[in-house]
Structure 1
């Protein structure tokens, strides 16, 4: 990975790019009026471009560059403001003041929506396994100014954790958050959709295991949530109660802290 600036650069922007490169442990390359494609051809790697108002990731496969955008979170928050429901919020049973740990932050749509619901008294943390994506999302959540004012503060409240959930979860205290959430579908064919095609290079292909779910159950005060394809075997194999949504390809599964199923599994 290399870091450079937008074509229209200046000393301030170059210094910012150098700092970001140092933080991420990558090489800073002066743009020198070269195209991104020529930089990638020379160095044979993905490129993080530091522009005035955003960070852009350019993958080596030539897909459209990725940059942070609230995406579907904007529409979801608008629906909630109209008094409509959101399937994720309903499955997690989120309320103002609650806490959520999103173990697969990705594009942060679910975390943004959750932060809107949990409010200033709540807490939303998101773990992202790819350091570059985590950096882009963290920067975007802080710097993005949405025309929907009700979205700006919820975005800024989200705490981004760069790391693998396999490493983060074991270090958290028992019952330290209300809800723990997994959305492993980020590694599925949904990545072929045009809007996020550039993220293939950043995808973390981690499989959810029984051991990790046990850690999540230990950490969760109220419930653990899984989002997956409606035909996924993870629901039954990992002990989740699948909530069927007849018109949707994606279902949510839950493990309630108070349920008998939350006791130690017997082999």
Structure 2
């Protein structure tokens, strides 16, 4: 049984907050709940529901029982892009081997940090599609990428270039033709918690936890034209289980694995 979701406004809603609330209700086909000076926790408990708050500057998503909201932020992409623009090496891009004009499918978009780097690498002529299984998370990220206010370049262009699709990975892959994306990328939720990744916790609560499966990997191999890339914790058994060639990184708690076509 799916959890009910409602949309409300900030504590003191203005015209913009009401407009954003209406937009969320229409896009997600969920009901509006007036704030009436109640806390988000109170609304969630009374309605037994997830709550999306349409604030003045952003949407915040509180899955039922969560104390910390999930909201869009470019996260680590900002400083990673600056390093890449300076010509420094980026492990993710080294593993994906993306070039201008390539197409890239991110099966586990999350906050979209990796997809933003991919958008930078493939350029204006390339294509980046990001999948997010949870409709509420997909809504927050899609709208955030379209509207996040930053003057930083190339970050803004990269965010705007990503196509956010609400779909589970396997379902989406099954509808794609053979060799339809140059690179298919998978970053399932880490089996081990990385303590330093505090900004990951809100996403961990909000997102869906879908385990990598034989069907998922087989479909990814079919759809990828050049390479399939997996990101996982260094202790993960997924690399060996699905025959990814692991790229060891002694200074990092996560590694990349690749399958070349």
Normalization by structure 1: what TM-score? 0.90
Residue 88 of structure 2 corresponds to residue 112 of structure 1: no
User: Of 217, 221, 235, which residue of structure 2 is paired with 1:213?
Assistant: 217
When you count helix as a share of all residues, which structure comes out higher? 1
Contact conserved, 1:106 with 1:186, CA < 8 A, in 2? no
Contact conserved, 1:224 with 1:254, CA < 8 A, in 2? yes
**Unpaired segments ≥5 residues, structure 1:** 258-267
State the Cα deviation string for residues 131-160 of structure 1 (Å, max 9, x = none). Answer: 100010000000012231211111001000
Residue 148 of structure 2 corresponds to residue 161 of structure 1: no
Residue 205 of structure 2 corresponds to residue 178 of structure 1: no
Task: Tell me what 2:43 maps to.
Answer: 39
Alignment of 1:86-235 (within 5 A): 86-186=90-190, 188-190=192-194, 193-235=197-239
Name the SS of the counterpart of 1:4 in structure 2.
strand
Deviation of the 1:111 alpha carbon? 0.2
Name the SS of the counterpart of 1:185 in structure 2.
coil
With over 3 angstroms needed to count, the CA separation of the structure-2 counterparts of 1:62 and 1:228, relative to structure 1, is closer
Deviates more, 1:188-197 or 1:140-149: 188-197
Residue 17 of structure 2 corresponds to residue 30 of structure 1: no
Contact conserved, 2:132 with 2:164, CA < 8 A, in 1? yes
Contact conserved, 1:6 with 1:49, CA < 8 A, in 2? yes
Name the SS of the counterpart of 2:11 in structure 1.
coil
Deviation of the 1:195 alpha carbon? 2.2
Contact conserved, 1:68 with 1:140, CA < 8 A, in 2? yes
Contact conserved, 2:128 with 2:162, CA < 8 A, in 1? yes
Cα separation, 1, equivalents of 2:163 and 2:109: 10
Deviation of the 1:188 alpha carbon? 4.7
With over 3 angstroms needed to count, the CA separation of the structure-2 counterparts of 1:30 and 1:138, relative to structure 1, is same
Name the SS of the counterpart of 2:154 in structure 1.
helix
